[in-house]
Structure 1
């Protein structure tokens, strides 16, 4: 299953989420950001590739819907509600991601 994680800058939250799936046997993950200065900025190609899209905040979902309504059609979009207060790889962020993703990804 192909997973896409989205936050604002693609430096902390979404990149940490992507790294959780490095070498995972059932899930392939990528990440991107919604803002112009993002490390990797989300494109229609990212959304086309993904089967499930996870965003960290509702505003990320709103931005995707505004800009990529057609590309989101038929896709699962999940708002994780993870605030922008954790640095990359923070153990508390990893624990929170695992807890929130467990509901949606049984093979995590």
Structure 2
């Protein structure tokens, strides 16, 4: 089974939605945020647990690489390229996550 960690800014809308979608697809999933005021801040434990790390935006990918560096070694890291304009479990977000995640995991 693949452990997928979804990362966005504050872990409020996109990454929790993505984790729920991935769970429905049969994956183990968790989420975290890069911001200091994130509901669930990214930790070393998150990174150690994950087989795949999916960020929502290219800027977050760059920030993750700067912050986590060596902890990403051996991990598959993908960018879903999903902008921050959706509500939690918004149908359009669910569709977008489903399509992009399926493509990213091929």
**Which residue of structure 2 aligns with residue 6 of structure 1?**
7
TM value normalised by structure 2: 0.92
Q: How large is the Cα RMSD of the aligned pairs? A: 1.3
**Which residue of structure 2 aligns with residue 32 of structure 1?**
32
**Which residue of structure 1 aligns with residue 95 of structure 2?**
95
**Which residue of structure 2 aligns with residue 62 of structure 1?**
62
Q: Which 5+ residue runs of structure 2 have no aligned equivalent?
A: none
Please give the alpha-carbon distance, in whole angstroms, between the structure 1 residues aligned to 2:37 and 2:19: 19
Please give the alpha-carbon distance, in whole angstroms, between the structure 2 residues aligned to 1:24 and 1:81: 20
**Count of matched residue positions in the alignment of Structure 1 and Structure 2:** 105
Q: Which 5+ residue runs of structure 1 have no aligned equivalent?
A: none
Q: Deviations for 1:15-45, whole angstroms, at most 9, x for unmatched residues?
A: 00011133654x1000000001101000111
Q: CA deviation at 1:105?
A: 3.2
Moved over 4 A (4+): none
